[in-house]
A and B are shown apart, each in its own frame.
Chain A
Amino acid sequence: MKKFDHIKVGSYEEASQVIQEGEGAIEPIAGGTDLLGTLKDRLLPHYPKAVVSLKGIATSRYIEERDGMLVIGAGTTLKEISESPLVKDHSQALAEAARSVASPLIRNTATIGGNVCQDVRCWYYRYPDSIGGRLECKRKGGDTCYAIAGENRYHSIFGGMSTGGSSCQRACPAGTDIPGYMAKIRENDWAGAADIFFQYNPMPMMTSRICPHGCREHCNQNVYGKSVNIPAVERTLGDYILEHKEDYYKAPEKETGKKCAIIGGGPGGLTAAFYLRREGHQVTVYDSHEKPGGVLRYGIPHYRLPKTIVDQFCQALENGMGIRFVMNTTVGKDVTVEQIKADNDVVYFGTGAWSQPVLGLEGENLTEFGLNFLEEVNTYLKKAMGENVLVCGGGNVAMDVALTACRLGAKSVKLVCLEQREEMPASEEEIQMAIEERVELYNGWGLRKVLESEGKVKGLLAMRCLSVRDENGRFAPSYDQDDTIELASDFIILATGQKVDISFLGDHLSSQLRTSRGLIDANAESGRTRAQGYYAGGDAVTGPDLAIRAIAAGRNAAMAMNRDLDAEKVGNPSHTQEEEVLGPESFTTFDVDGVERTKAVRLRELSASERSLTGEDRSSLDQDTAKQEACRCLRCACYAVNPSDITPVLVMEGARIITTEREFSAKELFTSKLTVQHILHRGELVTEIRIPKTLGRTRYDKRRVRDAIDFAIVSLASAFDVQAGQIKSCRLVLGGVAPVPYQLPEVEAYLTGKKISPETAKEAGEIAMRQAFAMSGNEYKIFMCKDVIYNRVMEAGR
């Protein structure tokens, strides 16, 4: 065992103080039979510097009766509890449960306080560090639960319990609850899935097509095979939403009378508009283009995102929701920001990054700017260009430009970029497409000068790029000026980045809001700027970035604006729920067969020869196929079961748990969160347990593999008040079957008033297992539960 210090204290107060001062490096130790095992195997990523021994607290061991309650000090050993006549008399279940723990050797030292706070026995969680390294499972703050697709015969039959967001959700800039909507889709509840999705993002039909989906890299199906094709499922959900757009983009029931202006009709601005309008505000979107959509319409090629989809979405916002669009209006020229502000309560800047950066390249004026090129093609579906096109840049915009040039009929398309093939920022799928369509890649070359003759482009002189980034990972390319090549071309397109231009703000606002990098200074969380009533987000704040980041910024700013407008009063249903609250009623489940499939579904894609400038390259999955893919979601959570024999009894008996700070009901402390540690504060210690007298006879039944030193596979804490063969009242709580003790209110309701009979006992088991969800290896536990309940009910009649 790695060394730690040992601190003796004389009271709980002293112990609490030492632990609080230890700032997480000091842990309490009572009997030690759980903690020492954890430390010996180095199960946890953190290791305490010291333990505070509670053994020296002389007043912690007692069993007494007080006001009709059985009161037990937390330091009382399980042996004392199992042998106490007072306990046996007051709660046979507790005595039986205490006696069922481990072995006499352990019960002689283990305390009830330690027992109720103990850690799970899941074999993945407990995998010792000395044999190949501990497993950083979900419960330890890692990514996934290995029992989902692994050995789970002793795991939960009622699903898992969330331990904070899943890794895919954390990877999504918008924080989309991906496992949440996948679960709804598995139930074929597309409306439910849409509701979850809309909490984060109002345009899945766009993001499913254009987002690079960093979530997929963090999908834990990667451990077993291919990640879940999240964009494909999202796309079908987006199709569903468009099919039912009147349900999702509708005017609010009540108007707040507040007015909001959105400057910039791109993904971020439209998101802000959506969430503001939904709350009942009047929203006006200003944009310099002819039609709304921003980069969705003008930056992304038709074949990736058909403009009919952008049209449908924007029309839904306009006609369905009643958002006003003021198009062909360049703010700062046609109308000033101040004029807009005068008509509105709040103003949001989602103006994006549309300007061409000046590279200082010789002959740069002869080149074409990538975004302008795309905008022109997207608008007119044609463009005069040369025969041999050269695209500069290695990102997704460069890929879009290159593919667009191909499909416009260029004789040859070359692409030159600083990065080596594997370093290219463009997504792999896009690069593959470009290669298929005969784009020639020149990796590792920087731009030296445009070669010209009589004002006409002849080609590009490129120089060897030695490295793109410096040792700190910052963009700082270094070149070998002497190692050059000439790339022949009569049409060069620069897709090496875009720039933010905020000159529209005017001098006064600009002086307040402009950062040293020429961006708008706004709070990353709320979008608030220094100027009251002005908010900003997206590329204008961050510099060129992903659409999903702009969407997240638009949503967050809308929430901040809504709060600042103080508009909750009008009573529109609140849609902007910040966090999903998981109670014990909502255990997480997955599809047992689906998670075993290691191959991901793929969208049907046109072959290189079939692809065109206007037709979409890929087509959506039907709902059934998308649902099948959603079945592959592991629904990462903790699927271990509560290890304590004592806690089901305490929950069943309605016990009160006293800590150094508070008093809890056993139900609250032991069933509302995955672990007791999630509820107790640092240094908060369980000091006493109070058990009221339960009506009838209480029992604890425990099924396990071995009769000693074993945890329950299934246990049942029960109380039955039976008179003349009729159940007057009863309580039943299962242990070892769910992440927390599992209460059975339906069974209790069913049994109350019933005459005990084999049929009744059997039906009780059936009702108890209605919500059961067997994993691949633990269906037997369902039968075992029914059996335990059957026997206990029958026994209660004797």
Chain B
Amino acid sequence: MKEHLEQICVTVNGVPRKFVIGDGVGCVSPSETLLDTIRDRLGLTAAKRSCEHGACGCCTVIMDGDAVASCMVLTADCDGSQVTTLEGLCDPVTGELSPLQKAFADNSAFQCGFCTPGIIMSTRALLDRNPSPTEEELTEALSGNYCRCISHYQVIRTVMGFINEMNRKEA
């Protein structure tokens, strides 16, 4: 197989990141997943490594507007993509939580919290597209995010409340 050296650029949380795809030191292996890259290279550990099969949603990030399971995406395929992780929702300067994150915290919409970053990212992707989803639409959007502590009820209540509050503020 020929030596493979190729430079790609992925914008993560607004910051363009350049990677060399290859097998050398410091290179991103062609078989590396986006999850490995953001966690192990960029230190963004909100996205969790869990089922590794795209079945649990713990590794959810937003890629070009869509929530995706970052464990099932090859970094080498992400050239030119815009990726947002949970860290990217916070204020880049102060680190202050975004209103959606605050809503989760204020309403204890989690138990152990392991799946929460993924749930928030799926919610965010939905709201970016559809600011006033119905509860059914929300449930559907979150159907790929599993929570073993059954925090779903609080999550749905919290997000629906958050949506109502946002809409009230806007009105």
Check if A6 sits within 8 Å of B4, measured CB to CB.
Answer: yes
Check if B74 sits within 8 Å of A53, measured CB to CB.
Answer: yes
| A50: B residues at CB distance < 8 A | 1, 30
A37-B74 contact, Cβ under 8 Å, with A2-B31, A5-B4: no
A103-B144 contact, Cβ under 8 Å, with A4-B31, A79-B66, A108-B67: yes
A105-B33 contact, Cβ under 8 Å, with A5-B4, A33-B54, A36-B74: no
- How far is it, in angstroms, between the C-alpha of A4 and the C-alpha of B69 when the chains are bound? 20
A654 interface residue, CB < 8 Å from B? no
Check if A104 sits within 8 Å of B141, measured CB to CB.
Answer: yes
- How far is it, in angstroms, between the C-alpha of A106 and the C-alpha of B57 when the chains are bound? 9
- How far is it, in angstroms, between the C-alpha of A2 and the C-alpha of B32 when the chains are bound? 9
Nearest CB in chain A to that of B56: its residue: A709
| B144: A residues at CB distance < 8 A | 102-106, 708-709
| A2: B residues at CB distance < 8 A | 31
A105-B53 contact, Cβ under 8 Å, with A3-B29, A6-B31: no
Check if A106 sits within 8 Å of B4, measured CB to CB.
Answer: no
| A104: B residues at CB distance < 8 A | 67, 122, 140-141, 143-144
**What is the minimal beta-carbon distance from A437 to any residue of chain B, in angstroms?**
62
| A33: B residues at CB distance < 8 A | 54, 69, 72
- How far is it, in angstroms, between the C-alpha of A33 and the C-alpha of B73 when the chains are bound? 8
Most chain A CB neighbours (cut-off 10 Å) among B30, B122, B145: B30
| Mask: chain B, 65-80; 1 = CB below 8 Å from A; 0 = not | 0111101111011000
| B74: A residues at CB distance < 8 A | 6, 29, 32, 36, 51, 53
A510 interface residue, CB < 8 Å from B? no
Check if B73 sits within 8 Å of A109, measured CB to CB.
Answer: yes
B23 interface residue, CB < 8 Å from A? yes
Most chain A CB neighbours (cut-off 10 Å) among B52, B55, B145: B55
A707 interface residue, CB < 8 Å from B? yes
A411 interface residue, CB < 8 Å from B? no
Residues 1-34 (chain A) with a chain B CB within 8 angstroms:
1-6, 8, 29, 31-33
| A51: B residues at CB distance < 8 A | 30, 74
- How far is it, in angstroms, between the C-alpha of A4 and the C-alpha of B33 when the chains are bound? 12
- How far is it, in angstroms, between the C-alpha of A165 and the C-alpha of B145 when the chains are bound? 43
| Mask: chain A, 22-62; 1 = CB below 8 Å from B; 0 = not | 00000001011100110110000000011101010000000
| B147: A residues at CB distance < 8 A | none
Check if B30 sits within 8 Å of A6, measured CB to CB.
Answer: yes
Check if A105 sits within 8 Å of B67, measured CB to CB.
Answer: yes
Check if A36 sits within 8 Å of B72, measured CB to CB.
Answer: yes
Most chain B CB neighbours (cut-off 10 Å) among A53, A104, A108: A104
| A8: B residues at CB distance < 8 A | 6, 76
| In-complex Cβ contact of B143 among A31, A49, A708 (8 A) | A708
Most chain B CB neighbours (cut-off 10 Å) among A1, A5, A8, A33: A5
| A102: B residues at CB distance < 8 A | 54-55, 144
| In-complex Cβ contact of A108 among B33, B68, B77, B145 (8 A) | B68
- How far is it, in angstroms, between the C-alpha of A708 and the C-alpha of B29 when the chains are bound? 32
Check if A53 sits within 8 Å of B67, measured CB to CB.
Answer: no
**What is the minimal beta-carbon distance from A173 to any residue of chain B, in angstroms?**
42
Number of interface residues of B (CB under 8 A): 33
| B52: A residues at CB distance < 8 A | 40
B21 interface residue, CB < 8 Å from A? yes
Check if A6 sits within 8 Å of B72, measured CB to CB.
Answer: no
- How far is it, in angstroms, between the C-alpha of A32 and the C-alpha of B66 when the chains are bound? 16
B158 interface residue, CB < 8 Å from A? no
**What is the minimal beta-carbon distance from B118 to any residue of chain A, in angstroms?**
8
| B57: A residues at CB distance < 8 A | 103, 105
**What is the minimal beta-carbon distance from B121 to any residue of chain A, in angstroms?**
9
Check if B30 sits within 8 Å of A3, measured CB to CB.
Answer: yes
B60 interface residue, CB < 8 Å from A? yes
Check if A6 sits within 8 Å of B141, measured CB to CB.
Answer: no
| A5: B residues at CB distance < 8 A | 1, 4, 30-31
**What is the minimal beta-carbon distance from B48 to any residue of chain A, in angstroms?**
13
| B68: A residues at CB distance < 8 A | 105, 108-109
| B23: A residues at CB distance < 8 A | 3
**What is the minimal beta-carbon distance from B57 to any residue of chain A, in angstroms?**
6
| B66: A residues at CB distance < 8 A | 79, 108-109
Nearest CB in chain B to that of A34: its residue: B72
**What is the minimal beta-carbon distance from B1 to any residue of chain A, in angstroms?**
5
| A40: B residues at CB distance < 8 A | 52-53
| B29: A residues at CB distance < 8 A | 3
Residues 107-143 (chain B) with a chain A CB within 8 angstroms:
122, 140-141, 143
Nearest CB in chain B to that of A53: its residue: B77
A6-B1 contact, Cβ under 8 Å, with A33-B72, A106-B54, A109-B73: no
**What is the minimal beta-carbon distance from A116 to any residue of chain B, in angstroms?**
18
- How far is it, in angstroms, between the C-alpha of A692 and the C-alpha of B129 when the chains are bound? 32
| A709: B residues at CB distance < 8 A | 55, 143-144, 146
- How far is it, in angstroms, between the C-alpha of A1 and the C-alpha of B33 when the chains are bound? 9
Residues 97-140 (chain A) with a chain B CB within 8 angstroms:
102-106, 108-109
Check if A49 sits within 8 Å of B1, measured CB to CB.
Answer: yes
**What is the minimal beta-carbon distance from A126 to any residue of chain B, in angstroms?**
10
**What is the minimal beta-carbon distance from B62 to any residue of chain A, in angstroms?**
10
| B63: A residues at CB distance < 8 A | 108
- How far is it, in angstroms, between the C-alpha of A709 and the C-alpha of B33 when the chains are bound? 21
| B53: A residues at CB distance < 8 A | 37, 40
- How far is it, in angstroms, between the C-alpha of A365 and the C-alpha of B57 when the chains are bound? 85
**What is the minimal beta-carbon distance from B143 to any residue of chain A, in angstroms?**
4
- How far is it, in angstroms, between the C-alpha of A108 and the C-alpha of B144 when the chains are bound? 11
- How far is it, in angstroms, between the C-alpha of A104 and the C-alpha of B63 when the chains are bound? 13
- How far is it, in angstroms, between the C-alpha of A1 and the C-alpha of B49 when the chains are bound? 13
A37-B143 contact, Cβ under 8 Å, with A3-B30, A50-B1, A105-B57: no
| B71: A residues at CB distance < 8 A | 36
Nearest CB in chain B to that of A40: its residue: B52
**What is the minimal beta-carbon distance from A32 to any residue of chain B, in angstroms?**
6
- How far is it, in angstroms, between the C-alpha of A36 and the C-alpha of B122 when the chains are bound? 22
**What is the minimal beta-carbon distance from A111 to any residue of chain B, in angstroms?**
12
A105-B122 contact, Cβ under 8 Å, with A37-B53, A53-B74: yes
Nearest CB in chain A to that of B52: its residue: A40
- How far is it, in angstroms, between the C-alpha of A2 and the C-alpha of B31 when the chains are bound? 8
| A37: B residues at CB distance < 8 A | 53-54, 72
- How far is it, in angstroms, between the C-alpha of A325 and the C-alpha of B68 when the chains are bound? 78
| B72: A residues at CB distance < 8 A | 31-33, 36-37, 106, 109
| B54: A residues at CB distance < 8 A | 33, 37, 102-103, 105-106
| B6: A residues at CB distance < 8 A | 8
Residues 406-442 (chain A) with a chain B CB within 8 angstroms:
none
- How far is it, in angstroms, between the C-alpha of A708 and the C-alpha of B54 when the chains are bound? 12
- How far is it, in angstroms, between the C-alpha of A105 and the C-alpha of B123 when the chains are bound? 12
| A55: B residues at CB distance < 8 A | 77
| A39: B residues at CB distance < 8 A | 31
Check if B33 sits within 8 Å of A36, measured CB to CB.
Answer: yes
**What is the minimal beta-carbon distance from B58 to any residue of chain A, in angstroms?**
10
- How far is it, in angstroms, between the C-alpha of A708 and the C-alpha of B146 when the chains are bound? 10
**What is the minimal beta-carbon distance from B160 to any residue of chain A, in angstroms?**
18
| Mask: chain B, 28-56; 1 = CB below 8 Å from A; 0 = not | 01110100000000000000000011110
| B141: A residues at CB distance < 8 A | 104
A53-B31 contact, Cβ under 8 Å, with A103-B57, A109-B68: no
| A32: B residues at CB distance < 8 A | 72-74, 77
- How far is it, in angstroms, between the C-alpha of A1 and the C-alpha of B53 when the chains are bound? 12
19 pairs across A/B with beta carbons < 8 Å?
A2-B31, A5-B4, A5-B30, A29-B74, A31-B72, A32-B77, A36-B72, A49-B1, A50-B30, A103-B55, A104-B140, A104-B144, A105-B57, A105-B122, A105-B144, A106-B54, A106-B72, A109-B69, A708-B143
Top 7 A-B pairs, shortest CB-CB distance: A103-B144, A6-B30, A708-B143, A105-B144, A108-B66, A6-B76, A105-B69
Which residues of B approach A to under 8 Å, CB–CB?
A: 1, 4, 6, 21, 23, 29-31, 33, 52-55, 57, 60, 63, 66-69, 71-74, 76-77, 122, 140-141, 143-146
Beyond A3-B30, A105-B60: 4 further Cβ-contacts under 8 Å?
A: A32-B73, A51-B30, A104-B122, A104-B141
